[in-house]
Amino acid sequence: MEVALVILFFILGSAVGSFLNVCMDRLPTDRSLLRPTSHCDSCQHPLAVSDLVPIFSYLWLRRRCRYCQALLPRRPFWVELGSAGLFAFGYWYYGLSIDLAVIIFYCCLFIVLAVIDLEHGLILNKIVYPAVVVALIISAFYPPSGIVDLALPWPWFGLVNSITGGAIGLIFFLLPALIYPEGMGWGDIKMAGLIGLVVGSGLVLFALLIGIILGGLVAGVLLLLKVRRWREAIPFGPFLSVGTIAILLWSSDIINWYLGLFF
Ligand SMILES: [Zn+2]
């Protein structure tokens, strides 16, 4: 394990994180991802290449624009730090591998979905639908978990695991939504289906249950503390994202821990 490579992945993750921020800013409002290049919202000054690793410039300049000194929003910093940490941890944990590439790609996808849901209360179709197509293509080459080990030729093994996972996720969220339509949005249901496609039929319920339990705990705490901002409805997407990312990163550890509770 090369420390230099872990640091390199941290910097790469930070740069990818700044692109994820652009996605979070522009996708909900139909702006182009490519133009204009990133700029300060206050003085419109384009960001220099040295700002490509904004964690350092943020710490150095105390979260202020270097041109107009305006205080910059907090979220980009945390997204960049999170993405940098994800890349560095992922490389340290998985090494250079297909696992690493697939897991990092999906984690980035679910980070973007989570933050947009947190900020806008929306799970965007223009992210979910293309993600469904990409998840199916990936599943053919990199099969997700299955409930039963089917002996199927390529590409059906991965596709069947993925599609049955998607169906389980959809049904699991569709049933409560049909009984109590106000409780859950269509966005959450589609996202549950996407999660099933990504993690496969063997893990989809784990990912969703982690999200449901976390969401319930946080909702309970916010209710007790009477946090005004979330009095009406707490977006569910961020919790589903956390559950999915946890499963993507640590599925075998989580399942062993869970089984250890009983055996
Ligand atoms: Zn500025």
3-class secondary structure for 155-181?
CHHHHHHHHHHHHHHHHHHHHHHHHCC
CA–centroid distance, 63 to ligand 1, in Å, is: 11
CA–centroid distance, 49 to ligand 1, in Å, is: 15
Helices assigned H by DSSP within 68-203: 75-94, 98-120, 125-141, 156-179, 186-199
- Comparing 11-20, 50-59, 144-153, 219-228, the range with the smallest average pLDDT is 50-59
Please report the pLDDT score of residue 174 as a whole number. Answer: 92
The fraction of the chain above a pLDDT of 90, given in percent, is: 59
173 confidence band (pLDDT: 50, 70, 90): very high
CA–centroid distance, 88 to ligand 1, in Å, is: 30
Does residue 139 register a pLDDT over 90?
yes
Query: Taking residues 245-255, what's their average pLDDT?
Result: 91
At 46 the three-state DSSP class reads: strand
Contacts of 21 (CB under 8 A, 6+ apart): 75, 76, 79, 80
Angle separating helix axes 204-225 and 186-199, nearest 10 degrees: 140
CA–centroid distance, 120 to ligand 1, in Å, is: 24
Q: What is the pLDDT of residues 112-126, one digit of tens each?
A: 999 999 999 999 999
CA–centroid distance, 46 to ligand 1, in Å, is: 9
- Comparing 94-103, 167-176, 224-233, the range with the smallest average pLDDT is 224-233
CA–centroid distance, 65 to ligand 1, in Å, is: 5
Query: Taking residues 58-77, what's their average pLDDT?
Result: 82
CA–centroid distance, 56 to ligand 1, in Å, is: 17
Please report the pLDDT score of residue 108 as a whole number. Answer: 98
Please report the pLDDT score of residue 230 as a whole number. Answer: 62
66 confidence band (pLDDT: 50, 70, 90): confident
CA–centroid distance, 27 to ligand 1, in Å, is: 22
- Would the pTM of this model clear 0.85, i.e. be above it? yes
CA–centroid distance, 70 to ligand 1, in Å, is: 6
CA–centroid distance, 30 to ligand 1, in Å, is: 23
Residue 152 token pair: 């199927």
Residue 74 token pair: 């907090």
Does residue 158 register a pLDDT over 70?
yes
> Which stretch, 177-186, 201-210, 213-222, 229-238, has highest mean pLDDT?
201-210
Nearest to 106 by CA among 235, 26, 197: 197
Query: Taking residues 99-116, what's their average pLDDT?
Result: 97
Query: Taking residues 187-196, what's their average pLDDT?
Result: 96
CA–centroid distance, 16 to ligand 1, in Å, is: 22
